[in-house]
Amino acid sequence: MMIALQRKIGARSNIGAFWVNRQVVGDEDYITPDENYNRVLGMDYNLASADNIRNGKFYLHKSFQPNDSKGNLSSQATVTYNPVTLAHY
């Protein structure tokens, strides 16, 4: 199962969130207790200024599963600033 939401912010930016759930159904012998489920939660923000001078991407994603305490966290933040304007002919 997956749920995803997204909302526009400002002229061209957006923020999104998602949830993914993988859950074992049944009690098969080959499935270990550590494989019962895996869930991932995440948020993303895409920055795009109206004048296209500032652009960026930010995200934070976290995975959960049984007996796992290692973190399983992923994140990134990038921003570009480009004030150069092109002449129109």
State residue 89's pLDDT score: 54
Q: What's the pLDDT score for residue 87?
A: 56
Q: Is residue 88 part of a domain?
A: no
Please report, in tens digits, the pLDDT of each residue of the chain (89 residues total): 999 999 999 999 999 999 999 988 877 778 787 788 999 999 999 999 998 899 999 999 999 998 887 889 999 999 999 987 665 55
Q: 86 lies in a domain?
A: no
pTM: 0.78
pLDDT at 86: 60
89 located within any domain: no
Q: How many domains does the chain have?
A: 1
Question: 65: closest CA among 40, 43, 88?
Answer: 40
Which residue range forms the structural domain that includes residue 35?
2-81
